[in-house]
Structure 1
Amino acid sequence: MSLLFKELDYRPTPMGVLSLRRRRELSLDIDVYEIKLNEEYLMSSLFTDAEIALADLGLAELDRDNLDVVVGGLGLGYTAKAALDNPKTGKLTVLDTLPEVIEWHQQGLLPLGEQLSNDPRCALVHGDFFGASLSNTPGMNPDAPEKRHDAILLDVDHSPGNVLHEDHKCLYTKDGLAKLAAHLVPGGIFALWSTEMPEPWFEENLKSAFETIRADVIKFKHPLIDREDINTVYVARTKA
């Protein structure tokens, strides 16, 4: 049995103090992994339904093989793992602005780290997803900057209206989304995870940059209390 609580790593970063913790949830008889930034919880392995749904719903829209997929935000790796589990995925680039999170996976401190690091289709890249999204370079993968992508999946901010850094706000504007859409092939997919219910202002911004959009509400049970929680996955498609 694991120790009831252990801080696996603790690092100062430009965004604040980042920590990785593992604790034993006795009521469920499982280890829970949590990432915190300062005093704010970024993610927990207790809640992974929506992160997995982000990849499942986004890639389900594409009916071709050997997909080139980009994930913005590595975190605990559940979106990336779901993308790799899809047989249509041929190449996956995961961009994360925090090299510490990439190191945790490469060092095997997280349960999915070995699977992601050792999969030849997957590249864990230290990079600024938001800067790359707003750039004029066609592709977002530094190793293939001229190649556009079939799908871009984003799981970084809490929601378009509740961002981790002020610089991220530019992406959720009409202009920012138009620049992101330019990194996709015709008929490509942009999917975004949010902790909030669908936000009409953001749906309008998506409609300005994509041919079709929808917002799927993901419902899941809180594992510790008798309560249903919700997240949203936005799925937007460029013109074919």
Structure 2
Amino acid sequence: MSKLFEELDYRPTPIGPVILRRRHILSLGEDVFEIMLGEEHLMSSLFTASEVALARLGLAELEGESFDVVVGGLGLGYTAAAVLEHDSVDSLIVVEMLDPVVDWHERTLIPLDPPLAGDPRCRFVCDDFFALASSRKGFDPAKPGRLFHAILIDIDHAPDRLLNRRSGSFYSPEGFARLADHLHPGGIMGLWSDDRPDSAFTELLASVFGEARAEPVTFTNPLRHDREFTQTVYLARKSAAPA
């Protein structure tokens, strides 16, 4: 049996120390991997339903046969891995501000199978997603101004519960309008939230993109089957160009 607890890495970052740790859950007979920001939980491999749903719901909205996708926020990689399950995805850029998180994936400290770094369609960009979203150059350093079919975001806990103040102006009509500039007409923006659906926020998205909805994702805690959690995936479609 593996150790009951192990800290795999600890690194300082501009927004605080990030820690990758592994716990063995005896009642489940499995290892659980967690990313911490100081004392704050960022992600656990025990709860991944909504991160996977972000990718699957977002890509299900697309029409066509080949797509270029951006994922904002790497974490344990479950959203990116779910994107790469689709053969229709030609390319994936994962934007992650924290270098240690990218390093964990490149060193395969995080046990995704197959690893993200082994897929030639996937590329990591170590940068601030929110800064790139508001810029003219966008998300691909090699191709400034490049457009994408889907941009899927899992960074903050919710639009009004931020990890860091740098992202605050993003959750506004102006911030989303700048993001929409990086999407093809008809492209999809997907956003993960730890909270239940917020009708006012959905209306804000619709006012910018033209079409938006909130998809609740409900799942049970494997350690407490009597307790359900509901998180949200917001989906917004950029209006198609006039004929």
Structure 2 CA distance for aligned equivalents of residues 205 and 136 of structure 1: 23
Structure 2 distance, partners of 1:3, 1:198, is 39
**Is the 2:145–2:182 Cα contact (8 Å) retained in structure 1?**
no
Aligned to 1:33: 33
Give the CA deviation at 1:186: 0.3
Match of 2:163 in 1: 164
Aligned-pair distance for 1:204? 2.5
Please identify, of 155-164 and 197-206, the stretch whose mean Cα deviation from structure 2 is larger: 197-206
Counterpart for residue 115 of structure 1: 115
Q: Which piece of structure 1 moves more, 187-196 or 141-150?
A: 141-150
Which of 109-118 and 74-83 deviates more? 109-118
Runs of 4+ in 1 over 6 A off after TM superposition: none
Of stretches 69-78 and 201-210 in structure 1, the one that deviates more from structure 2 is: 201-210
Q: How far is the alpha carbon of 1:170 from its aligned partner? A: 0.7
For 1:25 and 1:141, how far apart are their aligned partners in 2? 40
Contact 2:108 2:115 in 1 (8 A): no
Cα deviation for residue 168 of structure 1 reads 0.6
Identical amino acids, percent of aligned pairs: 51
What's the CA shift for 1:136? Answer: 2.1
TM-score (norm 2): 0.96
Within a 5 Å distance, the mapping from 1:1-240 to structure 2 comes to 1-112=1-112, 115-137=115-137, 139-225=138-224, 226-240=226-240
Shift of 1:125: 1.4
How many angstroms apart in 2 are the aligned matches of 1:196 and 1:19? 24
AA paired with 2:91? K
Please tell me the residue identity of whatever aligns with 2:197: P
Alpha-carbon deviation of 1:211?
1.4
1:45 shift after superposition: 0.2
| Contact residue 172 and residue 205 of structure 1 kept, 8 A | no
| Matched length | 239
In 2, the alpha carbon distance for the partners of 1:204 and 1:39 equals 34
Question: Structure 2: any 5+ residue segments left out of the alignment?
Answer: none
Query: Partner letter of residue 84 of structure 2?
Result: L
1:187-239 deviation per Cα after TM superposition (whole angstroms, max 9, x unaligned): 00000000101123322221221111000000111110021111000000001
Letter in 1 for 2:32: V
* Conserved? CA contact 2:7–2:19, under 8 Å: yes
Instruction: In structure 2, give the amino acid aligned to 1:169.
Output: G
CA contact (8 A) 1:105 1:114 kept: no
Task: Provide the aligned C-alpha RMSD in A.
Answer: 1.1
Unaligned residue ranges in structure 1 (runs of 5+):
none
Q: TM-score, normalised by structure 1?
A: 0.97
Q: Tell whether the 8 Å contact from 2:153 to 2:191 is kept in structure 1 after alignment.
A: yes
